[in-house]
Every structure is written in C-alpha cells, then in structure tokens.
Chains A and B, each alone.
Chain A
Amino acid sequence: MAEVSLAGAPAFADPAAYVRAQGDGTAMLDLIVENIHCPACVPRIEGAVRDLPGVIEARVNLTTRRLHLAWRPGTTDALALVKAVTAKGYRLAPYDPLELARGADREGRYLLRALSVAGFAAANVMLLSVSVWSGLATDMGPATRMLFHWISAAIALPAIAYAGQPFFASALEALRAGRLNMEVPISLAVLLAAAMSLAETLRGGDYVYFDAAVMLLFFLLVGRYLDLRVRDKARSAAENLMLLRAVAAQVVAADGSRRALPIAEVEAGMRVFVAPGECIPVDGRILAGNSDIDTSLVTGESLPRAAGLGGEVFAGTLNLGGALEIEVGAAGESTVLADIVRLMENAGQVRGAHVRLAERAARIYAPGVHMVAAATFLGWFAFGGLGWQDSLLIAVSVLIITCPCALGLAVPAVQVAAVGRLLRRGVLVKSGDALERLAQADTVVFDKTGTLTTGQPRLTGGETIAEADLRLAASIAASSRHPLAQALCRAAGPGVAALPEVREEPGLGLAATVAGAEMRLGNRAWCGLDAADGETGGSELWLTGPGRAPLRFGFRDTLRPDAAAVVAWLKQRGLQVEILSGDRAPAVREVARALDIDRWSGECRPAGKIARLEALKAQGRRVLMAGDGLNDAPALAAAFVSVSPAQAADISRTAADMVIQGEGLAPLSEALRVARVARRLVLQNFGLALAYNILAVPFAAAGLVTPLIAALAMSASSLAVTLNALRLNAIQRNARP
C-alpha cells in the first residue's frame, strides 16, 4: 500500500499556494504532519527548521498534528522549509487555516467560558448555601440569612443570564417550531427556580434554589461541552485526512510555465499538468500524453485503463504511466460525478430519519415532566389547601429535581469515552449518533476493491515461473511506477538490479536490450500477441523476446491481511455479510469464495448498489456499508451507517460516518464492539436517571424536597452516570483476548 498511497498523495504539494503574507512583512504557512505519532517527533520537526536562517517561529501542535511556520520571506522560502522537514521523513500537506476556523472552535470556547462562569457561580453560591443550611439547624439569624440570600442572588442571576444562553436559545428555537426538546424543561426549571428564589428572597423566605439552578447549568454545560468535544475531535482528524488529499493542481500558463493553484481556484478551460504517479486533481479531457489510469477509486475496477489523447479523466483517479496535460472540464460536465452527487443528495434524505437516543428520551421525558409539575401545582392548589405561591414553590421543586441533569450527561459522557478510545485505535467517528447506529447494524455490505482488498495487485502462480525469468522480468520492471511492474519487483524479492536504458511506452509496456536482444514486458498488444484468447480472470503482463516463448505473469488484487478474520468475526456475531462490487463478476466471485461469503454481486453501478441497500432496508435490515470508491459514495450516504478506509476517495470519506486508518479491517470490528458496549452503557445511564427520578419525584411532589436534598440528589445522579460511562474503558480491557 505504501507505494500507492505515496503516489496518490505526493510527499507534499507545492506549498507556495498556501503561504500567507503578513502585514509586518513576514510569511506564514500551516501544514499538517501526516505521520507524527509521539512527543519525540515534536523537537525533531521543530529542530529541523527552527535554526534555519529567517525562521521566526516553528511550532508543532501534537493534538491536532499541525505545524505552524513563520519566517522572513527574503531569507528563506516555503519550499526550503518544507523540504527540511520532509528530509526527516515526515509527510507534510499545506492547508489554509482560515478555511477551518469555523463555528466549532468558537462554539467550544464559548461553552468553556460559560462553563467556567457557571462553575465559579456554583462554587460560591454553594459556599453560601451550605452556611444557610447549617444555619437553619443552628442559630443563624434571619438577617444574616437574608444577607446570604441576597449575595447568592447577586452571583447566581448574572451567571444564569450568561451561562444559560445556549439552553435558552435552543429551547426558544424548539418552541418556535412547535416542538419540545430537552432544553425546554431545562430552561423552564432554571428560569423558574431563579425567579421563585428571587421572590422568596424578596419575601424573606427560608428556601431558595439559587445553588440548584447554577449547579444544574454547570452539570449540563459539562454534558454539552463533552458532546461538542466528541464531534470536534473526530472532525479535526477527518479534516486532516481530507486536506492531505487536497493537492494543488499544476496549472500550465499560455507560455508553458507552470504554477501551483489550490484546487478550488482552478477554473474550467485551464490546462493542468499531471506527473506520472500523481492523483488527477480535476475532471477533464486529455490534451497531450498517453497513460494508464487507475480508476479503482472511481469505478471499483481493479485493472488500470489506458487513456490517450481526447480521453476523459476524472478527479480522484491515479495517473500511472506518462505525464498528461488535461483541459479542465466545466463543472457538472462530468457525468460520473454529477450522477454520483445527485444519488448522494437523494440518499442523504433517508439518513435524516434516524432519531438520536437522547432525542427519543427527550420526546417522552419533556411532556412527562411538565405534566407531573402541572399536576403537582393543581393538586396542592385545588385539594391540598395551599395558596398559589406555595403550590408553585412545590411544583418548581418538582421541575428542579426532575431536571435532566443525568439525562443530559447520559449520552455525551459515554460517547466521549467511546470516540476517544476509537480514535486511539484508528477509527475516526464523525458524529455521536453514528455510534448509536453502528450498534444497531445487523448486516454488513462490503465493497471489494480497496475495502476488502488492498487495491494493490500481487503476482499469482509465481511458483510455476522459473526464478531466472522472474528476475529478468523484474529487472526490466524495476524502473517503472506501474503497479503491475512494482508488484513484479516485489514478487522477485530484493536484490534485483534495474536494467539501464529501459524504455517505457505509456499504456503498453517496457522494452530493454538484454544481451543484444530486445526484451519486451507489457500487455498483449505490446508483446505482439492476440488481444483476447479467453484469459480474463485478472490483470497480466507478458514477457517476450527473440527465440523464447511468451511468458505470462498473472496478477490479482490481494485481500487485506485480516479481512478473513474480520468477516468470520462478523458472521460469528450474527451479522449478515455481503459484497457489492463494481468490479467484474469473476474477480468478485473469487474474493467471495476466499472469504466464505455467500451473497455477492459484481458489476454494480452506483444506482445498483443503492437499489440493493433499499431492498435490504425493505426487509427490515440495518446495513453497515463499507466502501472506498467514488462509486460507493451514494451507497455510503444511503446506508444506515457507513465506514470507509482512510485511503478512500474524498467524497466517500465525507459521506461515511466513520473512517478507519491502517492496513487492516480490524478497527471495524473494534468499532462495532465499542459501539455495542456504548449503547448498553447509554441505556444503563437512562435507567439510572429514570430510577433516580422515580425515587425523587414522589418526595418532590409531596413538598418534602428542600434545597439541600435537591442539591445532593442532583450531584449524586450526575456522578453515578459519569462513573458508569467510564466503565467503557474497563469493559473493553477485559474483553480483549
């Protein structure tokens, strides 16, 4: 895979396109370091550039895996700096930080500020409340108590006004749309508690709930912040992946000079140069050059396709053979992509129907709480013989005690633990509800090329080929970047010297002079053989020379090393496994047989894949779709939950709920295991929260809950839920063999 991924994402794109000039005459560049793994890499990378002349700042952020450079443009340039780091073996990709500085980061900071204010208020109000509570039992005078209540109000009310905004805004939005969400009872409880406490303070009463109101906000903001972290962490990792592929296009000017442009700025009609081994950045038509194009990401076909003058090429495919010049096609002109985008848009609407567990809980919970509180008020007012003020006091205490503190933490606490754990195991989960859906999947549909297989060919039947022939062929192949030639070299093993003066004819093959005779290595046409005589089961190379019989080397895509184990594991867990591939049927059948999968189909078009998913859905199945190609993207968007490998096409990684990194499929089974445990823990947490409410509500409705009890009950239930979520780590450790 190493060669292919290197070829797909060159060591670095021309960074010049991403350099930002600053007002004070310095230049800045932000880069993603693809393969930074441990803290020891930080001084190595920074050391590589820090002492170069002109460098002002070089700082690695290990959390986001990004490198920030600032320098004086006259003394050095971006390319020199990037080369200094890549020379140490790190792969870099430039990016534009302004594009990324969007809502999530700001929201995170705002939540943290709100959280800190709520925390400050909760601690100080609690300090005063504890004095009041102990004062009620001992000898605190009413004047001191009044003073404490007033100070509490002075701290709590501004804090609530500031830190409660995220909830108030969301509740208001829901009410305007005529819905109830979790924020409605939260806002109501907080606002009513504050208002009632203020009224009690004015009236000189014994009980105020300022501490409960701010503590409620504090716990709920913790839940909110955790929820945001889940999304943010996975998102920034996913963005890194995405940007690694965002290679600048080499645009050719009218005078033949080339310059790098970010892909977003490439316009239709421009001429783009694509070197051999590079990813084709745009859709278009070939103006000059001949080459083989690896379209496996776009069509799922495992064999490269020859392309010449006037041929159409698509973004995301790999240029294997010769240098190409491409005229950029107008947006929407490319039928394949337009087709795929349209299918994806339709498919996305299906996905929207999933209701998150927390929302489902809120739908039952919010009306229930309001009804209980209203019944309490009416009960005390009509039959309990209390005035409306005291009845309202009790009703509000019901709202406070039932306020979904534990419910608000129940889901995010578990998801933070689960997503963080999966991230360390090489699985990026893009959203919390992806985990919920993954836990419910009962069918797994795999794409073949690039998902079950590595997308990299391997020599088959090598034992029937004489060692000398293999080494001869490998010595010719050694100078080529074509995947079949490289596979041949791998099969021959190390120690084969490349022949000098090997001629490469893009789309055909190689020729070299060995002992005075021309030897040819390439496809049938190149070697003067008939185009087709039956053999279609895989890709092939032929070796011919004067006075020797043509020799065939057959190649096949190899399975990922742990594909069989993962498929067996899935089946053992009772999941139904299927293959839907765009590749030819014989190739698919072979893989299906090797993995012992009964259900498979080949030559599926994107629409065909969706049709199959719809059929499965009609049977009531929840499908986990795993695929990597452009042709899989609509299916990934349409499936109940989806996953794609890190090497997948951009659009597929965007469409998928999860991205797995590494050579194997093992992270997939890990993700499934964690998702199921997480779901169990979330349900347990709901159970805990419910049990707590069932216990507490009768006391609250009976008017027995004092602020002290409310505060204790609230902290205890939140703590119980959080501790239960942390069990995720313990369970996983025991479950590992």
Chain B
Amino acid sequence: MTILGVLIPAALILGGIGLWAFLWSLKSGQFDDLEGAANRILFDDDDGPEES
C-alpha cells in the first residue's frame, strides 16, 4: 500500500497541471474566438506573428 504515497500525489499533481493549464488558457484569451481560431490554420496567407 505504500505505492499509494506515490500514486495519489501523482494523480493530484497531474490533475492540478490540467486545471492550471485551463485557467491559464482562459486568462490568456484562448477561448475568446472559438469559431475564428478553428479556421485560422486553413488560411494560406497567414504567415504568423511578425518576425521583427
């Protein structure tokens, strides 16, 4: 049963990373435009952020 001492924290940490990632993406506006962002990968002339 000592394995629990590893597995439970591991599960919680992995879950916590997921939660943090979601909260971060929410904060950084990843969900602001669900329709447009889904299509951006299809644009030919979209050369990404400016190099300069």
Contact with A63, one of B12, B18, B33, B43 (Cβ below 8 angstroms): B33
Give the contact stretch, choosing among A113-121, A343-351, A603-611.
A113-121
In the bound assembly, the distance between CA atoms of A62 and B35 in angstroms comes to 6
- Interface size range on B against A: 20 to 34
Interchain CB contact under 8 A, B36 and A123 = no
B40:A42 contact, CB within 8 angstroms: yes
Q: A145-163: contact bitstring with B at CB < 8 Å (1 yes, 0 no)?
A: 0010001000100000000
- With an 8 A cutoff between CB atoms, is A334 at the interface? no
A42–B22 contact, CB under 8 A? no
Asked if B15 and A120 sit within 8 Å, CB to CB, the answer is yes
In the bound complex, what is the Cα–Cα distance between A369 and B9 (angstroms)? 39
Verify if A43 is at the interface (C-beta below 8 Å from B). Answer: yes
CA distance A39 to B35 in the complex (A): 8
Closest to A66 in B: B33
A62 & B45 in contact (Cβ 8 Å cutoff): no
Chain B 32-49 interface residues, beta-carbon cutoff 8 Å to A: 32-36, 38-40, 42-46
Say whether B6 faces chain A, with CB atoms less than 8 Å apart: no
Residue among B19, B23, B38, B45 making CB contact with A43, cutoff 8 Å: B45
Question: Nearest Cβ in chain A — how far from B33, in angstroms?
Answer: 4
Pair A62/B23 contact, Cβ less than 8 Å: no
Q: What's the minimum C-beta distance from B20 to chain A, rounded to whole angstroms?
A: 10
Residue-wise, chain A 243-265 has the 8 Å CB interface mask toward B (1 for contact) of 00000000000000000000000
Chain B residues whose C-beta falls within 8 Å of the C-beta of A120 in the assembled complex? 15-16, 18-19
Quick check: B45 and A63 within 8 Å, CB to CB? no
Interface mask (B1-38 → A, CB under 8 Å = 1, otherwise 0): 10010001001100110110011001000011111101
The distance from the CB of B37 to the nearest CB of chain A, in whole angstroms, is 8
A151→B15 CA distance, assembly (Å): 14
Are B36 and A63 closer than 8 Å at their CB atoms?
Answer: yes
Across-interface contacts of A124 in B (CB, < 8 A)? 11-12, 15
A101 to chain B, nearest CB (A): 12
Q: CB distance B34 to A63 under 8 Å?
A: yes
Chain A residue contacts of B19, Cβ below 8 A:
116-117, 120
Q: Contact string, A76-114, partner B, CB cutoff 8 A, digits 1/0?
A: 000000000000000000000000000000000100110
A127 in contact (CB, < 8 A): yes
Instruction: Kindly count the residue-residue contacts between A and B in the assembled complex, taking CB atoms under 8 Å apart.
Output: 54
CB distance from B10 to the nearest CB of A (A): 11
Chain B hits for A147, CB < 8 A: 4
Contact of A43 with B43 in the complex, beta carbons under 8 Å = yes
Query: How far is B21's CA from A530's CA once the two chains are assembled, in angstroms?
Result: 79
Interface membership of A47, Cβ < 8 A = yes
> Does the CB pair A42–B36 fall under 8 Å?
yes
B18 CB contacts on chain A under 8 angstroms:
120
A47, A113, A120: residue with the most chain B Cβ atoms closer than 10 Å: A120
Closest to B47 in A: A50
CB A68 to nearest CB in B, in angstroms, measures 10
The reply to whether B15 and A123 contact each other, CB–CB distance below 8 Å, is: yes
Chain A proximity of B6: nearest CB distance (Å): 14
Shortest distance in angstroms between B21's beta carbon and chain A's nearest beta carbon?
10
* Chain B residues whose CB sits within 8 angstroms of the CB of A117 once the complex forms: 19
> In whole angstroms, how far apart are the Cα atoms of A63 and B38 in the complex?
11
Q: Which residues of A contact B12 (CB under 8 A)?
A: 124, 155
Per a CB cutoff under 8 Å, which of A43, A64, A113 touches B46?
A43
**Given the complex of chains A and B, what is the CA–CA distance between A120 and B40 in angstroms?**
30
Report if A144-B4 is in contact (Cβ < 8 Å); known contacts: A116-B22, A117-B19, A120-B16.
Answer: yes
What are the residues of chain A within 8 A of B45 when measuring CB–CB? 43, 47
Q: How far is the CB of A630 from chain B (nearest CB, A)?
A: 35
Q: Is the CB of A144 within 8 A of B36?
A: no
**Distance between A349 CB and nearest chain B CB, rounded to angstroms:** 38
**Could you give, for residues 24-55 of chain A, a 1 whenever the CB lies within 8 Å of some chain B CB and a 0 otherwise?**
00000000000000010011001100000000
A320 in contact (CB, < 8 A): no
B-chain residues with CB within 8 Å of residue A669 when the two chains form the complex: none
- A60 to B42 alpha-carbon distance, docked (Å): 15
| B42 contact from A39, A46, A144, Cβ within 8 A | A39
B23 contacts A61, CB within 8 Å?
A: no
Min CB–CB distance B49 → chain A (angstroms): 10
Name which residue of chain A comes closest to B12, CB basis.
Answer: A124
Decide: A42 near B39, CB < 8 A? Known: A63-B32, A63-B34.
yes
Alpha-carbon gap, A61 to B35, bound state (A):
8
User: Assuming A39-B42, A109-B26, is B36 touching A62 (CB within 8 A)?
Assistant: yes
In the complex, A124→B42 CA distance in Å? 38
With both chains docked as a complex, state the minimum distance between the C-beta of B34 and any C-beta of chain A, in angstroms.
6
User: Do residues A113 and B23 form an inter-chain contact, with CB atoms below 8 A?
Assistant: yes
Report the minimum CB–CB distance from B25 to chain A (whole Å): 10
In angstroms, Cα B19 to Cα A478, docked, is 65
Give, as a whole number of angstroms, the nearest-CB distance from A32 to chain B. 14
Which residues in A have their C-beta under 8 angstroms from that of B38? 39
**Chain B residues near A144 (CB-CB < 8 A):** 1, 4
Which 6 A-B residue pairings sit nearest by Cβ, starting from the closest?
Answer: A62-B36, A39-B39, A61-B33, A120-B19, A43-B43, A62-B35
Instruction: Provide a sorted-by-A list of 19 A–B residue pairs whose CB atoms are within 8 angstroms.
Output: A39-B35, A39-B38, A43-B43, A43-B44, A43-B46, A47-B45, A61-B33, A61-B36, A62-B33, A62-B36, A63-B34, A63-B35, A63-B36, A116-B19, A116-B23, A120-B15, A120-B16, A127-B11, A151-B8
With contacts A42-B39, A113-B26 known, what are 5 further pairs, Cβ within 8 A?
Answer: A39-B42, A61-B36, A62-B33, A63-B33, A144-B1
